[in-house]
Chain A
Amino acid sequence: MTDLSTDTAEELGALDAATSAEAGSAPAGGALWHTVRHRFLSFPFALRAVLTVVVFTLVVLPFYRLILGSFQEGGPPERGPLTLQNYRDTFNKSSDIIGNTLEFAIGQTVVPLVIGVLLAWVVTRTDVPWRGVWEFSTIGLYFIPLLAAGTAWSILLGGRNGMLNEVIRTLTPWDGFDVYSMPGMIFVQSLYLVPLVFLVVAASMRNVSPDYEHAARINGASPLSVFFRVTLGVSRPALLSAAVLCFIIGLGSMEIPLLFGFPAKEHVFTTDIFHALRVRMPREHGRAAATGVVLLAASLVVLIMYLRSIRHSDRYVTVSGKGSQETPTRLGRWRWAVFTACCGFFFFTMILPFIAVVVGSLLPYIGRPDAELLAQSSLENYRQLSDNPILWRSLRNSLTLSLGAGLFVMVFSALVAYSVVRFKGRWSRMIDYGASLPLMVPAVVMATSLLYTYITLELPGGFSIYGTLWIMAMAYVVYFLPVGVRQMTGPVVQLSADLEHAGRISGAGNLATMARIVLPILRPALLGGLILAFITYMREFTLSVLLFRSGTEVITTVMYSFYNNGRLPFVAAISVGLWIAGMLLMVILRFVLKARITF
C-alpha cells in the first residue's frame, strides 16, 4: 500500500476528500506529496491534462494569435503596434469580394439543401425503386475529391473549349454554359455538398415516425403537404444544422473558387487570402489575418442564429420510427418520374464527370471532341506522370499525412469522447467544446491561424515545424477533430464501465485497461472513423494549398499546379486515379466493414 495512485472514474473532488494526504505515519511533507500524487498524478487528471494541452496548442492558441495579429501593424508573425489598418485594407479593397463571398456561400447552401433534402426524403420515406443504390451513390459523392470533380466539369463546361459546350454549340443554336462563372461555381460546388446534407437530413428523417405522416394523411392532407408540413417540419433542426455546415464550408473552401472563380474574375475571401499569402509580393499578412477574422465573425453570426433557432428543439424529439422502412409514402404514378430524376442525378454527378476525366486524361489537350482529336488519344499522359518524381513524392506525402493524422485524430477523438462520457464535469465539457470549435471555423481561417502561430516557432535544435509535414498534420487533425469526436461518442457511450472495472479488478492498471480493453473494443468504430478521416484528408485542398512548401506537396496541390499551368489532361489522369480509389474505399467501408457513414 505504498503506491496510492487512485483513479476511479468519478469526480476528483470526491476522491480528494477521501485521500488528501499520505498515510498516517508520513513525514511532514507527506500531505503535499500525497495531494500531488492523488490529484495531479491520478489518471482522470493526467488524461484530461494531456487532452487540454493538445486542444490548446492546436485550436485555442492559433485563434488567439490570428485575432491578435489582425490588430497588429504588418500583421502576424511580426508583433507590431496595435492598429486597425488591416481591417481598413480589407474592407477598402474588397467591396465586391464581400458580395461575391456571400453570393457563393448562400448559393452553395441553398442548392444542395434542396437537392439533399429531396434525395433524403426519396430514400427514407418513399417507395421509389433502388433506394439503396441512390443512398450509396449519393454518399459516394463525398469520396470524390472536389478538385477531381471540378476538373471534370472544367473539361465538360469550362469556357468555349469545354467539350460539352463544343457539342452544344455544334448541335444547337445555344452557346452552352460557362462553368467559369458565379452560377457555375455554385452549381459544381453544390453537387458535391449534397452528400453532407443528405447524411445529416436522412439520419433525422429515419427517426420520424411514419405515424406522423399517416396521421396527417388521415386528416386529409395531400402527400405534398405532408412532405412540407410534417416531414420537413419535424426535420427542421437537422435542416438548419446542414445549412450551417454548408455555409461555413462555403466561406472557407478554396477548390472551386480557385479553379473557376479565377478565370471568371469572381474573387471571394478565400482566394483573396490565398493571394495575400501565397501569390502577391510582398506578402500581405495583416490583411490576410483581418480577412480571416471577418470570416470567423461571419460564421459566428451564423452559429448564433442557428443556436437561437434550435433553442426549442426539444419539441422536435420524435418517436423513433421502427416501421419507417416498411411503410414508405406511395408515390403512385410519380414513382417512375422520381426514379428517372434519381437516375439523372446519378448520371450528372458520377457517370458524366467520370467519363469526362477518363476521356480528358487520354487526350493531348481539351477541345472539340471530334474524330481528329479522339484519334490522338493515348496513355501518354499517364506515362509522363509516372515519370514525374514530384507526383510520387506528393502521393507519398498524402498517404503518410492521411494515415498518420487519421490514426492520431481517431485515437485522440476516442480519448476526448471517453473523458466526456466517463469523467463528466465542467473540465471535460470544456475539452469537448474546444475539440468541437473547428467545426464552426472556415478551413481557410484554420490554416491561416496555424500558419501564424507556428511560422516563427523554433523548437530546440533550430527545428521549425513551418514548411514541414508536421504543420500540415496539425491542420489535418484540427480539421477532422470535431467529426472524429462525434464518431466516437456513440460507441463510447455504449461501452459499459463494468468492462473496464473487470479489467482493473483483474489486475490491469489504468493504462493497460485503456490499451487492452477500451481501445480494442472501440476498434471497429476507430477503423470506420479512420477511413472517413483518410478520405477527407486525401481530398483536402484548402489547408494544404496554404501550408505546403516545396517538398511537402500533397496530391491535391500538385493537381492544382498542373491545372494552373494549363495541363488539364494531367489533372484529369490524376483525378481518374483518385476517383477509382475513392470508390474502392467506399465499397470497403460499406460492404467489408459494414460501417454506417454518419457525421
Chain B
Amino acid sequence: MVRPEVTPSEDLLALRADDLHKKFGAVTALAGVSFSIRTGEFVTLLGPSGCGKSTILRILAGIETPTRGAVAIGGKVVNDTERRILVPPERRDLSMVFQSYAVWPHMSVAANVAFPLRYRKVPRRQRRDRVTEALRAVRMESYVDRYPHQLSGGQQQRVAVARSIVGHPALLLLDEPLSNLDARLREDMRVELKRLHLELGLTMLYVTHDQSEALAMSDRILVMDHGLVLQEGTPEEVYRAPASLTVARFLGVKNIVAGRVAGDGTVEALGGSLRATLAEPMAPGAAAAVAIRPDGFALAADGAPGPAISGEIRLAQFLGGAYEHEIDTGGTTVIAQSPQRLGGRGDTVALSIDPEAVIAFPADDPAP
C-alpha cells in the first residue's frame, strides 16, 4: 500500500496518524486507525477500557512501535513502518500526561518541571522563569520546593501537567488524566485543562472512557471500540447522530428498544408510532433497534410535537438540574429526563417524543 507523501499543504496538521495497526501476540489492539489533528485543536479518543486508546498514545509518543502504519507530527514523519522510519520519543516534539502522573519521586516540583527544558536547549537563565510560568498556569507556583510525596494526588497531577506544557510542545497527549481523581477534583481539573488549552493555544489529544468529559471538552471526538474508530465528529454530531448502536450506547443512550420500520420516517415501538431518523435506509417492515435519548420525552399535554405514547411512571427522581423517570410502556421500561416533573409514582401519562431524539438502526446491528 502506497501512502501519500506529506505535502506542504498539510503543514497545519499537528498530527497525522495513518492506518495504525498493533498486535500483541494474538491480541489485536489496533486494527487500522487513521486520523489527523489540526494545530490548536482539542481532540478526544473516547472508548471503553481495553479498546486501544492508550496504545495509540504510546505509538504516537514513540514508547510503542506499531505493527504497521505511519505517524507524522507537525508535518515531519516520525514513524513509518514501510519506509522504516522510527524516531525515538526524545526527538518527537510532544509531551504526555500519564494516568499514573509519573511525577519523579526523587526530584522537587521545580526539578520535575525544569527537566524537559534541559533537553529543549532552553538557556539556564530562562529556565526558572519558564518553570514559574508553567507552575502558575496550573496554580502550583507556591509548591516549587516540595517533593512529590508531600503532595496530594490532585497536586501531583498538576505538576505532571506543568511538566508537560513547560516545553511548549507541538502536541500534548493526555491519557485519562482525571481518572484517578475524586469526583469534585475531576470537575475542577476538567475546566482547568480546557482553560489551558484555550489560553496557551495547545494542541491536545485527550483519552478518556468518560463520555461526559469527552462531550464537555472536545472540539472533535473519535469514538473507538475494539481497535477501530467507529465515528468521528463534533460532540454535537456524535451525540445527536450516533452512527451505530454501539456509539449510541457508549454516549449514554440508555433506551434501546425493539421496533419495526413503518415507512415514511416512522417506526413502531413502545406501543405507538414514533417519528424517527433512520441511521441507514431500511425497508418498511424491517426489524429495528430504536435508540431514544432520555432527554427527548415531554408531556403530550404540553403541546409538544410528535405522536404520543402512554406509560405508567414507576419511579421519579430529582437529580438537581432535571428529573429522571422510569416509565413502563406496556412491558418495556424507558428512562425519561426532563426539566419538569412528568408526574408521580403510579401516574399514567401520555408522552410525546422528539423525533430528533429517536434513531432507528437495523436490528442485527452487532451489540457490544
Contacts and interface: CB of A to CB of B under 8 A. Distances in A.
A3 B86 CA distance: 9
B120 interface: yes
B76 A1 contact: yes
Contacts of A567: none
B294 interface: no
B51 to A, nearest CB: 20
Contact of A20 (B84, B87, B90, B160): B84
Contacts of B86: 4, 6, 15, 18-19, 38
A294 interface: no
Interface stretch (B57-65, B180-188, B283-291, B310-318): B57-65
Contact of A15 (B65, B83, B85, B106): B65
Given A507-B90, A507-B118, A521 B105 contact: yes
Contacts of A516: 115
Given A507-B118, A521-B104, A523-B106, A501 B61 contact: yes
A8 B102 contact: no
Contact of B96 (A1, A499, A502): A502
Interface string A497-508: 011011111111
Interface string A507-547: 11100100011001101000000000000000000000000
Contact of A501 (B81, B102, B105, B167): B102
A17 interface: yes
A499 B88 contact: no
Given A502-B102, A507-B119, A8 B84 contact: no
Interface string B63-106: 11111000000001110110111111111101110101010111
B62 A24 contact: no
A10 B22 CA distance: 13
B84 A19 contact: yes
Contacts of B67: 14, 17-18
A507 B120 contact: yes
A509 B65 contact: no
Given A1-B85, A23-B84, A501 B63 contact: yes
Interface centre among A1, A14, A24, A502, by most B CB within 10 Å?
A: A502
Nearest to A9: B63
Contacts of B163: 502, 506
B115 A504 contact: no
A505 B84 contact: no
A21 interface: yes
B106 to A, nearest CB: 5
Contacts of A3: 91
B177 interface: no
Contacts of B89: 501, 504-505
Interface centre among A6, A14, A20, A507, by most B CB within 10 Å?
A: A507
Interface in A8-42: 8, 10, 14-15, 17-24, 34, 38
A5 interface: yes
A501 B98 contact: yes
Nearest to B89: A504
Contacts of A38: 86
B90 A504 contact: yes
A135 interface: no
Nearest to A519: B106
A499 B118 CA distance: 17
A90 to B, nearest CB: 52
B65 A8 contact: yes
A4 B77 CA distance: 12
B66 A18 contact: yes
Contact of A8 (B62, B81, B95, B118): B62
Contacts of B100: 496, 498
A513 to B, nearest CB: 8
A103 interface: no
Nearest to A497: B63
Given A17-B67, A507-B118, A509-B90, A502 B98 contact: yes
Contact of A505 (B61, B65, B78, B80): B61
B325 to A, nearest CB: 44
B115 A506 contact: yes
A505 B77 contact: no
A7 interface: yes
B26 to A, nearest CB: 14
A505 B95 contact: yes
B88 A5 contact: yes
Contacts of A508: 90, 115, 118-119
B116 interface: yes
Given A4-B87, A509-B88, A499 B95 contact: no
A4 B85 contact: yes
Contacts of B96: 501-502, 505
Interface in B108-159: 115-116, 118-120
Contacts of B80: 23
A22 B84 CA distance: 6
Contacts of A23: 80, 83-85
Given A499-B104, A505-B94, A1 B87 contact: yes
B102 to A, nearest CB: 4
Contacts of A22: 84
Interface centre among B61, B89, B115, B116, by most A CB within 10 Å?
A: B89
Nearest to B83: A24
Contacts of A499: 102, 104
Nearest to B118: A507
Given A501-B102, A505-B90, A517-B104, A8 B85 contact: no
A119 to B, nearest CB: 35
A10 B64 contact: yes
Contact of A504 (B63, B77, B83, B120): B63
Nearest to A34: B84
Contacts of B115: 503, 506, 508, 516
Interface in A462-504: 496, 498-499, 501-504
Nearest to A496: B100
Contact of B167 (A504, A506, A512): A506
Contacts of B77: 1
B66 A1 contact: no
Contacts of A503: 104, 115
A496 B98 CA distance: 11
Contact of B88 (A7, A24, A517, A523): A7
A5 to B, nearest CB: 6
B61 A19 contact: no
Interface centre among A8, A21, A24, by most B CB within 10 Å?
A: A8
Interface string B149-179: 0000000000010010001000000000000
A8 B63 contact: yes
A521 B106 contact: yes
B322 to A, nearest CB: 39
Given A502-B96, A503-B115, A6 B65 contact: yes
B106 A19 contact: no
A4 B81 CA distance: 12
B181 to A, nearest CB: 17
A517 B112 CA distance: 11
Contacts of A18: 65-67, 81, 84, 86
A501 B94 CA distance: 12
Given A1-B76, A502-B160, 7 more contacts: A23-B80, A24-B83, A502-B98, A503-B115, A504-B89, A506-B115, A507-B90
28 contacts: A4-B85, A5-B88, A6-B86, A7-B88, A14-B65, A17-B67, A18-B84, A19-B65, A19-B85, A20-B84, A24-B84, A38-B86, A501-B58, A501-B96, A502-B163, A504-B90, A505-B62, A505-B63, A505-B94, A505-B95, A505-B96, A506-B95, A506-B163, A508-B90, A508-B115, A508-B118, A508-B119, A520-B106
Please give me the 10 A-B residue pairs with the lowest Cβ-Cβ distance, nearest first: A507-B119, A506-B116, A498-B102, A504-B89, A502-B102, A24-B83, A18-B65, A498-B98, A19-B86, A520-B106
Interface of B: 58, 61-67, 76-78, 80-81, 83-92, 94-96, 98, 100, 102, 104-106, 115-116, 118-120, 160, 163, 167
